[in-house]
Amino acid sequence: VSHIERIYDAIAQGKILIAQTAPSVRVAVGEEVGMAPGSVTTGKMVAALRQLGFKYVLDTNFTADLTIMEEGSELLARLGAFWADEKRQQVHHFPMITSCCPAWINYVEQEAPDFIPNLSSCKSPQ
């Protein structure tokens, strides 16, 4: 799904645009513009997004770290509930599966719905 027209409309209306990028994008973009595979394009990508009209370009790394900490807390809570339930009267969903990628969540929902309860309840930083 392309949002280019919505971006052009927002620029025309004088709205503040914010881009958020993930580490994988910073590497993949380089190959698309003829750079060697694996080249890090952070500076060039930020400059290009700013030239296109984005006022802020944010990095997903910080929010990804928050997601990791939240998923760790959730795992500890699940393990605590499991060990507190000595008679195993409740259903416990293990292994806990990360929910940090929207495409991964979509895959589980469509291709492996039995594992939906195993997904972390933590929202994706993306």
pLDDT (tens, 9 = 90+) of the chain, 126 residues, equals: 788 999 999 999 999 999 988 887 888 888 888 888 888 888 999 999 999 999 999 888 888 888 889 999 999 999 999 999 988 888 899 999 998 888 899 999 999 999 999 999 998 877
Give exposure, 18-56, as e/b (b: 16+ Cβ within 10 Å).
Answer: ebebbeebbbebbeeeeeeeeeebbeebbeebeeebbee
- Give residue 40's pLDDT: 81
- Give residue 115's pLDDT: 96
- Give residue 47's pLDDT: 95
Residue spans of the domains in the chain: they are 4-59, 63-118
